[in-house]
């Protein structure tokens, strides 16, 4: 029996048991049978969470693009690998076959080589959702360069921080991008960022919006002419299993983003295997993940997971609201999408528009509906299930993280009975644990605690770029011999997991992880601001929105406050991006603090959530009187 494609619940339990009793044997079988290796491994797994050090398939040699492209050419050369759906529905869709993808990736790889990019070099990719983005990623992988994709909605400051952190020498971008009816001047943002990135020698620019941009001589080059001149074949660089594949930044609880490092073989095996099972993907299916490739969801389930399975993956450039809120359903109908993967924030925004916009379209191709990025609330779950899925397409609520590489807790559709707001059962090979605050594991069912993972899986990130100590401190120091996720969860009476949200200072707004620290840093740059604290509060569409408590250096007149609010949000927009703007700003005379000077976010969170019945013991605060004031003037 092949364990590659699970088809019923009994089989899930069997395979699950096998995968946790003997993980090495289990993953070795998957790796042997379903991938192309230039040399097999010497050892399947070695690990030590105390160091921490994790290695999968050590000694193996491979190139991930041979697995994602070359090997399919013989059996699926003319099959569509990528369906590119442009922002403007009037513009023609592109169908890129595996054969064409091979050609384009090889040409791009040769362009990178000509620019002096070598194995191990870091390349920053700041490109909107156009085919060049996928091609650029795979071209890096082809030659063994480490890609660092930065979401093309981030500001110049956020971009330069990431470029410098991983010391990228080359940046790939576009003249601009389309976002609904708007265009964004990407090249302008790159130019501004590069003023503080002395290490960048070359910028390759894809043409998308035909805007008049400045090209800096000897640094900036239009991509297309170089691609046209490049040779259409490029031998893959033969890589070690544990060589880094990419860096992807995620927010943390300090101002500095964490560059999570994923390595080649384990990430490939894990994303491919989870993709196949969690979506029950079959050969002629069309799969669509609506995420941006700038996030891990896009890396794993637009690019690597689907392509490793020879799948057809839709890549959508636009937004759900353009030209109207029926766009997603229009695309599902047009390309007969079978598996659809999106975020609760999008579901809530679409649900708000009513059912008519969905009912206009033929969605009968849909077989599986996925959700990812944040907890899906009950109302959104039912709307997704009833209105979109017509009660026939199971919803898979998939819990995972940038750090985990692929899905960790998720139903397998048609296999695991679903339950609203529950991510249900651990995926094959995943060993979750719930811990109490004193470090004891909570055994049995009907318990709630902090979500940890006890044993490595192939997709786990191996380190934080340039800061292994921080990797250890963040994930392996809270509980001994455990990977700590930062999330809370409960396990119900049948062993199903429900994620209850972050227990640290990361707030998830519209599915994007935002650390509070960098936002506070930006606010505090305003000359009038003394101090600030950001918390999340429930928001109908975004899931969570941001509430800022700000103390000013001088008590201003209240008519000044509106201007200040605008200036502060502008500052956040410039430093981080519009996604991090505050929905509510309350000016206060002080922030509640512990005696050691730590801001008591717990109290501020409760006030923002309008849940002040139980604020806990505030008598230990340095300034308990301020709590009263904040409560009275809460927004």
Chain residues binding ligand 6R9 by CB under 6 A are 250, 295-297, 371-375, 397-402, 423, 485-487, 499, 502, 508, 513
Please identify, using beta-carbon distances, which residue of 65 and 166 lies nearer to ligand 6R9: 166
Residues 6 or more apart whose Cβ sits within 8 Å of residue 408: 399, 400, 401, 426, 427, 430, 432, 453, 457
For residue 71, how far is the Cα from the chain centroid? 27
CA–CA distance, 53 with 170 (Å, rounded to integer): 30
Please identify, using beta-carbon distances, which residue of 3 and 404 lies nearer to ligand 6R9: 404
Please identify, using beta-carbon distances, which residue of 102 and 276 lies nearer to ligand 6R9: 276
CA–CA distance, 517 with 136 (Å, rounded to integer): 32
> What three-state secondary structure class fits 502?
strand
CB of residue 418 vs ligand 6R9: minimum separation in angstroms?
12
Please identify, using beta-carbon distances, which residue of 339 and 371 lies nearer to ligand 6R9: 371
Angle at 600 between CA 598 and CA 606, to 5 degrees: 165
What angle do the packed helices 156-165 and 558-575 form, to 10 degrees? 40
Please identify, using beta-carbon distances, which residue of 69 and 296 lies nearer to ligand 6R9: 296
> Which position's Cβ is nearest ligand 6R9?
402
Please identify, using beta-carbon distances, which residue of 393 and 402 lies nearer to ligand 6R9: 402
- Closest to 428 in 3D by CA, of 13, 46, 32, 10: 13
Tokens of 457: 């899986």
Please identify, using beta-carbon distances, which residue of 137 and 230 lies nearer to ligand 6R9: 137
- Closest to 124 in 3D by CA, of 152, 163, 156, 151: 163
Burial of 225 from C-beta contacts in 10 A (0-12 / 13-18 / 19+): exposed
Please identify, using beta-carbon distances, which residue of 132 and 397 lies nearer to ligand 6R9: 397
Please identify, using beta-carbon distances, which residue of 371 and 532 lies nearer to ligand 6R9: 371
Residues 6 or more apart whose Cβ sits within 8 Å of residue 316: 85, 129, 288, 290, 331
CB of residue 403 vs ligand 6R9: minimum separation in angstroms?
7
CB of residue 344 vs ligand 6R9: minimum separation in angstroms?
8
Angle at 195 between CA 194 and CA 200, to 5 degrees: 40
CB of residue 267 vs ligand 6R9: minimum separation in angstroms?
14
CB of residue 459 vs ligand 6R9: minimum separation in angstroms?
11
Please identify, using beta-carbon distances, which residue of 372 and 626 lies nearer to ligand 6R9: 372
Residues 6 or more apart whose Cβ sits within 8 Å of residue 253: 504, 505, 506, 515, 516, 517
CB of residue 503 vs ligand 6R9: minimum separation in angstroms?
9
CA–CA distance, 131 with 92 (Å, rounded to integer): 13
**DSSP characters for 171-194?**
EEEES-EEETTEEE-HHHHHHHHH
Please identify, using beta-carbon distances, which residue of 301 and 455 lies nearer to ligand 6R9: 301
Please identify, using beta-carbon distances, which residue of 174 and 423 lies nearer to ligand 6R9: 423
CB of residue 287 vs ligand 6R9: minimum separation in angstroms?
16
Would you mind telling me the total number of residues written for the chain in this entry? 635
CB of residue 585 vs ligand 6R9: minimum separation in angstroms?
25
User: What residues are paired with 453 via a beta bridge?
Assistant: 432, 483
> What three-state secondary structure class fits 123?
strand
Please identify, using beta-carbon distances, which residue of 236 and 373 lies nearer to ligand 6R9: 373
CB of residue 476 vs ligand 6R9: minimum separation in angstroms?
16
Please identify, using beta-carbon distances, which residue of 220 and 397 lies nearer to ligand 6R9: 397
Tokens 């952190």 correspond to what residue?
A: 165
For residue 400, how far is the Cα from the chain centroid? 9
CB of residue 422 vs ligand 6R9: minimum separation in angstroms?
9
CB of residue 195 vs ligand 6R9: minimum separation in angstroms?
29
User: Is residue 267 within 8 Å of 245, Cβ to Cβ?
Assistant: yes
Tokens of 627: 């709590």
Please identify, using beta-carbon distances, which residue of 579 and 585 lies nearer to ligand 6R9: 579
CA-based Rg of the chain, rounded to a whole angstrom?
24
CB of residue 568 vs ligand 6R9: minimum separation in angstroms?
25
* Buried/exposed 6-36: b ≥16 CB within 10 Å, e otherwise: beeeeebeebbebbbeebeebbbbbbeebbe
CA–CA distance, 195 with 214 (Å, rounded to integer): 14
User: Is residue 506 within 8 Å of 488, Cβ to Cβ?
Assistant: no
CA–CA distance, 525 with 417 (Å, rounded to integer): 50
CB of residue 260 vs ligand 6R9: minimum separation in angstroms?
8
CB of residue 545 vs ligand 6R9: minimum separation in angstroms?
16
CB of residue 266 vs ligand 6R9: minimum separation in angstroms?
17
């Amino acid at each position: 029996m092949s364990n590659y494609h699970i088809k019923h619940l009994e089989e899930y339990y069997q395979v699950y048991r096998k995968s946790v009793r003997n993980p090495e044997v289990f993953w070795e079988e998957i790796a042997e049978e379903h991938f192309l290796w230039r040399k097999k491994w010497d050892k399947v797994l070695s690990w030590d969470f105390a160091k921490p050090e994790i290695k999968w398939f050590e000694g193996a040699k491979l190139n991930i693009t041979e697995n994602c492209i070359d090997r399919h050419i013989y059996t699926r050369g003319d099959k569509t690998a990528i369906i590119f759906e442009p922002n403007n529905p009037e513009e023609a869709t592109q169908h890129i076959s595996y054969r064409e993808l091979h050609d384009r990736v090889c040409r791009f790889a040769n362009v990178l080589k000509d620019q002096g990019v070598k194995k191990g070099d870091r390349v920053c990719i700041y490109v909107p959702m156009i085919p060049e983005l996928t091609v650029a990623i795979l071209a890096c992988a082809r030659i063994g360069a480490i890609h660092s994709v930065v979401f093309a909605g981030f500001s110049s400051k956020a971009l330069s921080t990431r470029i410098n952190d991983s010391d990228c020498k080359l940046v790939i971008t576009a003249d601009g991008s389309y976002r609904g009816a708007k265009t964004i001047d990407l090249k302008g943002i790159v130019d501004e960022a590069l003023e503080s990135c002395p290490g960048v020698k070359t910028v390759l620019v894809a043409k998308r919006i035909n805007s008049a941009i400045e090209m800096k001589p000897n640094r900036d080059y239009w991509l297309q002419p170089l691609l046209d001149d490049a040779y259409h074949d490029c031998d893959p660089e033969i890589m070690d299993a544990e060589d880094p594949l990419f860096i992807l930044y995620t927010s943390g609880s300090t101002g500095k983003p964490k560059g999570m490092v994923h390595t080649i073989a384990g990430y490939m095996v894990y994303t491919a295997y989870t993709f196949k099972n969690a979506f029950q993907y079959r050969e002629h299916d069309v799969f669509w993940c609506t995420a941006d490739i700038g996030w891990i969801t896009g890396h794993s389930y637009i690019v690597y997971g689907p392509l490793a399975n020879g799948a057809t993956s839709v890549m959508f450039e636009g937004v759900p609201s353009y030209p109207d809120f029926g766009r997603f359903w229009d695309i599902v109908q047009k390309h007969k999408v079978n598996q659809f993967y999106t975020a609760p924030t999008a579901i809530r925004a679409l649900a708000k528009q009513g059912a008519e916009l969905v009912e206009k379209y033929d969605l009968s191709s849909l077989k599986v509906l996925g959700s990812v990025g944040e907890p899906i609330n009950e109302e959104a779950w039912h709307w997704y299930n009833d209105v979109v899925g017509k009660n026939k397409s199971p919803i898979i609520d998939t819990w995972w993280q940038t750090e985990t590489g692929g899905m960790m807790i998720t139903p397998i559709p048609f296999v695991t009975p679903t339950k609203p707001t529950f991510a249900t059962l651990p995926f094959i090979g995943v060993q979750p644990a719930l811990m109490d605050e004193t470090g004891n594991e909570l055994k049995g069912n009907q318990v709630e605690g902090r979500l940890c993972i006890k044993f490595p899986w192939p997709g786990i990130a191996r380190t934080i770029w340039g800061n292994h100590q921080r990797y250890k401190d963040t994930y392996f120091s809270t509980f001994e011999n455990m990977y700590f996720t930062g999330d809370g969860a409960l396990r119900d009476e049948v062993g199903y997991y429900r994620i209850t949200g972050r227990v640290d200072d990361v707030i998830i707004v519209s599915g994007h992880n935002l650390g509070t620290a960098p936002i506070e840093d930006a606010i505090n740059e305003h000359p009038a601001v003394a101090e600030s604290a950001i918390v999340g509060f429930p928001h109908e569409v975004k899931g969570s929105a941001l509430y800022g408590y700000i103390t000013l250096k001088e008590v201003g007149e209240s008519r000044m406050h509106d201007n200040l609010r605008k200036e502060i949000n502008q500052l956040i927009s410039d430093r981080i991006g519009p996604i991090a703007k505050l929905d509510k700003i309350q000016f206060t005379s002080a922030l509640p603090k512990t005696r050691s000077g730590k801001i008591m976010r717990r109290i501020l969170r409760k006030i923002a959530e309008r849940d002040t019945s139980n604020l806990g013991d505030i008598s230990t605060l340095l300034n308990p009187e301020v709590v009263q004031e904040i409560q009275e003037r809460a927004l």
